[in-house]
Amino acid sequence: MEVVLIGSGNVATILGRLIIQKGHTVKQVIGHTSQNAVLLAKTLSAEYASLTEITNRANIYIIAVKDHAVSLLADQLRLPGKLVVHTSGALQKDILSKISDQFGVMWPLQSIRKEIDYLPEIPFLVDGNKESVIEDIVGFIHKLEQPVTVANDTERAKMHIAAVFASNFVNHLYALAEDFALKEHLDYSLLLPLIKETANRLEHNSPAMVQTGPAIRGDIVIIEKHMRILESYPYLRKLYLRMSNSIMQSPYK
């Protein structure tokens, strides 16, 4: 298939690499920051073009830009009869309705950074304005050899919330743990095997079934000891108490 990528950031870069790896062609890369877009186009053996120079000879047009920029593109871009998708988990599909009569979403449910030198598995949540469009998008994802699930606007928004809990919030806790370790002259790298093992368990178990720690055991003595140690870290102390209470009162227990 022949693809036009609109965007040159993390998502556009990884999608472009995946498209090329699976034997398809990126015809053009169109980016707001021309320097990044030119570099990505060169990497993907594609043409760099401005929005006014966009070709009408591609099979699918992927808008992979920041959420606030999608509506701006929708006011400028017109591709009647062409399949146009955005990659946002938070935006509704209808935001593209002025661009084409064939529009939809292919949201990569993955933490994507263009600096990575490998391509992770990327589950896609997809939707379209009609059944034939959904079938076309699903078929495209199958060609990329990635998992695909059809999900409407409401379902994607809810999954986006779940992803924030599962990835963004968890990574924030890693960052806090690293900062605490550094300030206390501890070796943060000693936590990495624990982090990996905890994640590995989730391959075959519900998170609720493998929860460990003093809070799930109701070990108040250990919790109070930790609270005393954290007296000079009021932010961490407050968060520790809130998280411990959340675990002890969790609905999955």
Tens digits of residue pLDDT in 1-53: 999 999 999 999 999 999 999 999 999 999 877 889 999 999 999 999 999 99
251 CB-side CA count, 13 A: 0
The answer to pTM > 0.95 is no
Cα dihedral value 4, 45, 87, 3, nearest 10: 30
Contact 94, 115 (CB under 8 A): no
Residues in the chain: 253
Q: What domains does the chain contain, in order, with CATH numbers? A: 2-151 (3.40.50.720), 156-248 (1.10.1040.20)
Query: What whole-number distance in Å separates Cα of residue 159 and Cα of residue 168?
Result: 13
The pLDDT tens digits for 156-215 are: 999 999 999 999 999 999 999 999 999 999 999 999 999 999 999 999 999 999 999 999
DSSP state of 213: S
